[in-house]
């Protein structure tokens, strides 16, 4: 059983090691922290922590560093999160507030989160099964080129260009647009296939293959909505922390390229009452990420879908600050999308 003072010593070791990347000794703890006991007493506490496999010595006669188990206990016991400054909060609100459309807002979110934490930032697109078709717009780009724009109620926009075999007049384009919107408006993405089937069954007499081309473009766009997608930023931060990985960072980079792996990992994380979750070191071994930690939280889209965002980096990360940043950005993102 670890004593309260030993837990405090563990917190000191984690904090000092995260900030310095140097193994932490008893003398340094006495000098930097107000425990009011001797270095010999601190060494006894450290011996207890080592016996519980919460810290270990990376080299003979060196200080101690946290183990994955030690980081886990530290995070589980984390009561005080480092609050974001008013400047940081203002930057989040302003930066996300300038986003136009879902793609832009999520792109801004990962860049912001990466800058706040100096880690790899990952944002999952919401599931669009419940998204409804708000509008289909047709825009002539030339005599024989037509832009097909699909807009849903969650603010997402998909575009496709199609080539025409015969030129279309403005009145013909308006008529087509009205027909398509009558069939698709208000349908969920999951149900839109039925509307497309009805449109295909009623081709345009003057342009026999046009409706098939339009429906084909819309079908591609709807397929995009149904696919799980992630957006990332800050992979260069891994290179800057390469010394925190015992081996090569390339397996981590390869895992990041496998979006299916990351989606599975996100899906398995259980968000706690504080709105965040952390998986540390060996807990990520099934995903090829045993030398990394992931901090994640939930956000909600304008249509109420729940999705995840988070940061990934070495186990030697500032958990308190990263958890606070993920939680704050998730809340601001939910609010921003809810107002969209």
pLDDT given for residue 299 in this prediction: 92
Residue 81: inside a domain: no
* pTM of the predicted model as reported, rounded to 2 decimal places: 0.77
pLDDT given for residue 177 in this prediction: 95
Q: Which domain holds residue 144?
A: 133-226
Asked if 217 and 193 sit in the same domain, the reply is yes
Q: Which run of H or E residues covers position 66?
A: strand 65-66
* Cα dihedral 97/103/107/110 (nearest 10): 90
Asked if 290 and 250 sit in the same domain, the reply is yes
Per the structure, how many domains does the chain have? 3
Asked if 114 and 245 sit in the same domain, the reply is yes
Asked if 204 and 239 sit in the same domain, the reply is no
Asked if 64 and 176 sit in the same domain, the reply is no
Q: Is 305 left (phi over 0), alpha (psi -120 to 50) or beta?
A: beta
**CA dist., res. 96 & res. 93, Å (int):** 6
Asked if 242 and 296 sit in the same domain, the reply is yes
pLDDT given for residue 226 in this prediction: 63
Strand partners, 278: 295
CATH code: domain of residue 36: 1.10.10.10
pLDDT given for residue 129 in this prediction: 65
pLDDT given for residue 143 in this prediction: 84
Asked if 49 and 158 sit in the same domain, the reply is no
Q: Which residues of the chain have pLDDT under 70?
A: 60-61, 79-80, 128-129, 226-227, 303, 339-340
Q: What does pLDDT average to over the chain?
A: 89
pLDDT given for residue 100 in this prediction: 81
pLDDT given for residue 291 in this prediction: 92
DSSP string, 202-262: S-BTTBTTHHHHHHHHHHHHHHHHHS--EEEE-THHHHHTGGGSSS-SHHHHHHHH-HHHH
Asked if 105 and 94 sit in the same domain, the reply is yes
Could you tell me the two tokens for 221?
């766009």
Asked if 199 and 56 sit in the same domain, the reply is no
Asked if 269 and 334 sit in the same domain, the reply is yes
Asked if 232 and 319 sit in the same domain, the reply is yes
pLDDT given for residue 123 in this prediction: 95
């Amino acid at each position: 059983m670890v004593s309260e003072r030993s837990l405090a010593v563990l917190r000191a070791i984690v904090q000092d090691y995260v900030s310095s990347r140097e193994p932490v000794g008893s003398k340094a703890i006495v000098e930097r922290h107000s425990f009011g006991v001797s270095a010999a007493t601190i060494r006894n506490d450290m011996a207890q922590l080592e016996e519980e496999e919460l810290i270990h010595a990376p080299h003979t006669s060196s200080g101690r560093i946290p183990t994955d188990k030690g980081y886990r206990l530290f995070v589980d016991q984390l009561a005080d999160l480092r609050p974001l400054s008013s400047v940081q909060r203002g930057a989040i609100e302003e930066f996300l507030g300038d986003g136009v459309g879902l793609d832009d807002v999520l792109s801004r979110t990962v860049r912001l989160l990466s800058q706040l934490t100096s880690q790899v930032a990952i944002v999952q697109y919401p599931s669009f099964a419940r998204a409804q078709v708000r509008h289909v717009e047709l825009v002539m780009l030339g005599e024989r080129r037509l832009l097909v724009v699909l807009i849903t109620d969650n603010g997402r926009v998909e575009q496709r260009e199609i080539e025409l075999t015969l030129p279309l007049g403005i009145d013909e384009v308006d008529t087509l647009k009205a027909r398509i919107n009558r069939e698709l408006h208000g349908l969920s993405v999951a149900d839109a296939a039925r509307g497309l089937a009805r449109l295909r069954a009623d081709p345009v007499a003057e342009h026999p293959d046009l409706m098939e081309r339009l429906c084909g473009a819309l079908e591609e766009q709807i397929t995009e909505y149904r696919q799980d997608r992630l957006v990332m930023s800050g992979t260069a931060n891994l290179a800057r922390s390469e010394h925190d990985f015992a081996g090569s960072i390339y397996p981590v980079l390869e895992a990041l390229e496998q979006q299916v792996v990351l989606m599975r990992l996100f899906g398995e994380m259980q968000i706690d009452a504080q709105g965040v979750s952390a998986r540390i070191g060996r807990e990520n071994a099934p995903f090829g990420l045993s030398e990394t930690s992931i901090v994640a939280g939930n956000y909600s889209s304008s249509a109420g879908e729940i999705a995840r965002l988070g940061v990934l980096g070495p186990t030697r990360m500032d958990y308190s600050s990263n958890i606070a940043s993920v939680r704050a950005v998730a809340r601001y993102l939910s609010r921003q999308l809810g107002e969209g």
